[in-house]
Amino acid sequence: MLISRKPLLIVAGAGAFGTALANSLCKNPDIVVRLLSVEQEVVESINRNRINSVYFPNIQLLKQLKATTNNRILEKADAVFLAVPSSVLISYLNTLRPFIPADALIINLAKGFGENNVIISQYLEENFSNPTGTMKGASFAIEVLNNMPTGYTFASKNPECFDIMKQYAKGTNIHLDYSDDILGVELLSILKNIYAIIIGIVDAHFASANTRFLVSTKVFNELRKTLLTFGGNSETIFKYCGYGDFNLTSLNDLSRNRTMGLFIGKGFIKNITSDKITLEGKRSLNIFYDKLKEEKLVAHPEIEFPIMFELYKLMNKEEYDQRKFIYNIVNVY
C-alpha cells in the first residue's frame, strides 16, 4: 500500500521572521516544516529546548518545529521560503541552489533590494526554472509568533501556486490574498520603509492626529504614484502588502523605519547624512532616487515625487536645514 508523503516546507533563515512563520505553519498537521539556518547555536537551541535563543529567548516554539544546518534537507522540499535579509539573499540562495528540486516552489519573504540593487523576484524568474512567488504583508514577527491573525499578499504568475499556498496556511494564523503583480508586491514592500521614516518624523514634531493624517494622505498618494511609475499595478496598493503594510510600518512603534523617523524628529540622531546609518529605508531611498534621476522615468522627478526628494535631501545633504523639513512636507501639493 502506498503511503502519501506530507509536503515538506523549508524556511531558509532562522531569524525572527523565519522562526515566527515556520512556527505558525507547524499548526497545519498536513505538512512538515523545517528551519534551515547557518547559525549552529540557534539550531541546537530549537532542537534541544524549543526556543530560538538568539531571537526569541523567552518564547517556547511548537514541538513539531525542528531546525538544521544541513542544506541537503532541501533535496526533498516541496516549497522553499527565503527568510534572510535581502542584502545577502542572492549570495545565500546560490549556495542553496544545487540542493533545490526543479519543481519546488520558491517564495521570497525578504523586503528590500538584493545585491547590485536587483529586485529579488525578478532574479528568481530569470535564474530559476522553478515556480516562484513572493509573500509580503502587514506583520511583525513577534505577533505572528504570538498567534495573532496576520495578512499577507501572495503573488505569483501562476494562480495554482496560490492554491497550494492556501493549503499550506490552512488552520494557521496566516491569512492570504492574491495578486499576479509580483513586481508591484515587491516594490510596495520596499517603498513603505521609505515613507514610514517621514511619518515618524512628523509624529515626533506634532502630537496631532490632524497633521499625521494630512501627511499620511500625501505620502500614500505619492507611494501609489511611485508604484505605477516603476511598473506596478494600481490595485495592488489595496492588498495586505500595500495599504496594510504601509500603515503597520508607518504608525506602529515596533517599526524600525518609523522609529528612525522618531529619533530624527526628536533630535537624537545628529548626523543624519552619516554612512553609518544603514537602515533599509535609507538604502532603498537612495536607490529609488538614483533610478528616478538616471533612468528618466519621468521628466521632472523632483516635481513628480517631492516628498521622496525632500527626504533624500534631509538624509544625504549636510547643508539641508532640518527645521524646514516638516514645513516643506506639509505644503506639498
pLDDT number for residue 227: 96
pLDDT tens digits, one per residue of 313-332: 998 888 888 888 989 998 88
Q: Parse the chain into domains and list their residue ranges.
A: 8-180, 183-330
Average confidence (pLDDT) over 288-296: 88
137 has pLDDT over 90: yes
The C-alpha angle 2, 27, 13, rounded to 5 degrees, equals: 95
pLDDT number for residue 270: 64
Q: Are 283 and 112 in contact (CB under 8 A)?
A: yes
pLDDT tens digits, one per residue of 190-217: 999 999 999 999 999 988 999 999 999 9
Q: Are 245 and 136 in contact (CB under 8 A)?
A: yes
Radius of gyration of the chain (CA): 20
The dihedral built from the CA positions of residue 201, 141, 137 and 191, taken in this order, carries a sign that is: positive
Specify the 3-state DSSP secondary structure of 248.
helix
The C-alpha angle 66, 68, 70, rounded to 5 degrees, equals: 150
Q: Which CATH number fits domain 8-180: 3.40.718.10, 3.40.50.720, 3.40.640.10, 3.10.560.10?
A: 3.40.50.720
**Neighbour-count burial for 88-116, b at 16+ CB within 10 Å, e otherwise:** ebbeebeebeebbeeebbbbbbbbbbbee
Distance CA 77, CA 105 (A): 9
Specify the 3-state DSSP secondary structure of 7.
coil
pLDDT number for residue 13: 97
Q: Fill in the amino acid letter for 318.
A: E
Average confidence (pLDDT) over 90-106: 96
User: Mean pLDDT of all residues in the chain?
Assistant: 93
Distance CA 86, CA 118 (A): 10
**Cell representation of residue 96:** 542553496
**Cell representation of residue 40:** 549552529
Q: Which CATH number fits domain 183-330: 1.10.1370.30, 1.10.1040.10, 3.30.2020.30, 3.40.190.10?
A: 1.10.1040.10
pLDDT number for residue 297: 82
C-beta neighbour count of 14 within 10 angstroms: 27
Question: Strand order in 32-36's β-sheet?
Answer: 66-68, 32-36, 8-12, 79-82, 105-108, 132-138, 150-155, 174-179
pLDDT tens digits, one per residue of 13-51: 999 999 999 999 999 999 999 999 999 999 999 999 999
Looking at residue 76, the DSSP 8-state letter turns out to be G
pLDDT number for residue 322: 81
